[in-house]
Amino acid sequence: MPCQTSGELKLLVDEAKKYTKDGKVADYIPELGKANPGDLSIAIHYPDGRCISAGDIDKKITLQSISKVLSLALVLMERGFQYVFERVGMEPTGDPFNSIAKLETMAPAKPLNPMINAGALVVTHMIKGASVEDRLNRLLAFIRELADDSSIGYCEEVARSEFETANLNRSLCYFLKQHKIIIEDVETLLDLYTKQCAIEMNCLDLGRIGMIFAMDGKDPLTGKQIMPEDVARICKTFMVTCGMYNASGEFAIKIGIPAKSGVSGGILGAVPGKFGIGIFGPALDEKGNSVAGIKLLELLSRNYRLSMF
């Protein structure tokens, strides 16, 4: 079913777009720095297959930190709750997403949660497979099923750009390796992680994935349970408590839906039992979240009473 342009959504996009001037693109990753900061688009995917949109929803974006939710869902399915949470914690943090500080003060030195970079690297380390290619294909197969889009792949230019500038993530990996939280070669893990972050899709794909989470892991169009209900619940809980970096508390109060952002300007939203949301707006605030994307979600939540609280 084609996605229908919504005049009502367009009005909200036009209002939120005014805030793009307050943000800047993630130019510390050279390829992401090429994005147009004035872009803003949204797709909303309903469980009956309907979709409404505003803006250029066909534009491809890389997942970046949004991929952390999807890799977590995969390893929970493959490894189980106990295995995963012996190696990464469940607690929110007020520190930036790329901080090493808590690792140095925690004992054992396991990351606080899977949504910060240290935790996400540990989760990616748990993806099963004999090679980077095997493991990436395993994750891609899962994501393609969630989005119902077999064309989803990754952007080699963005992956290369991130790999070449990933010195802070290298530091996190070596710290984790010193404490035996990860045991593989650091460059191999970073190769996989940067390709995971460079997986690309459009807003419509993001919205459909959000809809699967909103429906507790079940594809309502086929009746297939793509992920166990409990896995979807755990992921949505992390999206509420940690999904918007160290702005998650304010986001929960102002907007109040499970969501995960990425520094490409993408936001994946899941309104429990109702629909999924995919947003792209590459101008970021100081926390690394899409400044106009958050404003758009705030307008949506307020106008349609979406908060789960």
Residue-level pLDDT at 97: 63
For the question of residue 304 being annotated catalytic, the response is no
Residue-level pLDDT at 227: 98
The token pair at 42 is: 């949204």
Answer yes or no: do 245 and 289 share one domain.
yes
CATH number at residue 69: 1.10.1500.10
Residue-level pLDDT at 92: 87
Residue 84, SS3 per DSSP: helix
Residue-level pLDDT at 2: 77
CATH number at residue 280: 3.40.710.10
Residue-level pLDDT at 96: 61
Answer yes or no: do 75 and 47 share one domain.
no
Position 309 in a domain: no
Position 72 in a domain: yes
Catalytic option among 193, 218, 260, 290: 193
Position 223 in a domain: no
Residue-level pLDDT at 133: 98
Answer yes or no: do 78 and 185 share one domain.
yes
| DSSP structure class, residue 34 | G
Residue-level pLDDT at 132: 98
Catalytic option among 25, 245, 264, 271: 245
For the question of residue 245 being annotated catalytic, the response is yes
Catalytic option among 13, 19, 53, 65: 65
Position 207 in a domain: no
Instruction: With a cut of 70, list the residues of the chain below it in pLDDT.
Output: 1, 96-102, 104-108
pTM for this prediction: 0.96
Neighbours of 293 (CB within 10 A): 30
| DSSP structure class, residue 246 | G
Residue-level pLDDT at 99: 66
Position 232 in a domain: yes
Integer angstrom CA distances of residue 276 from 52, 76, 148, 204, 228: 11, 21, 14, 9, 18
Position 202 in a domain: no
Position 282 in a domain: yes
Answer yes or no: do 139 and 246 share one domain.
no
Answer yes or no: do 38 and 151 share one domain.
no
Answer yes or no: do 173 and 78 share one domain.
yes
Across-strand partners of 261? 267
| DSSP structure class, residue 218 | B
Answer yes or no: do 81 and 35 share one domain.
no
Q: For tokens 């935790």, what's the residue?
A: 119
Residue-number span of the structural domain to which 290 is assigned: 6-61+228-304
For the question of residue 295 being annotated catalytic, the response is no
Binding annotation for substrate: 65, 117, 162, 169, 193, 245, 263
The token pair at 8 is: 């009502």
Binding annotation: 65, 117, 162, 169, 193, 245, 263
For the question of residue 46 being annotated catalytic, the response is no
Q: Cα angle at 128 between 144 and 149, to 5 degrees?
A: 5
Catalytic option among 68, 102, 236, 260: 68
Q: How far apart are the C-alpha atoms of 85 and 90, rounded to whole Å?
A: 7
Answer yes or no: do 111 and 178 share one domain.
yes
Answer yes or no: do 277 and 237 share one domain.
yes
Answer yes or no: do 193 and 163 share one domain.
yes
For the question of residue 193 being annotated catalytic, the response is yes
Position 256 in a domain: yes
Answer yes or no: do 75 and 34 share one domain.
no
- Burial of 153 (C-beta count, 10 Å sphere; 0-12/13-18/19+): middle
Answer yes or no: do 49 and 73 share one domain.
no
Domain count, the chain: 2
Strand 41-45 to 259-261 pairing: unpaired
From 23, 93, 65, 118, select the one nearest 267 (Cα to Cα).
Answer: 65
The token pair at 260 is: 């995960």
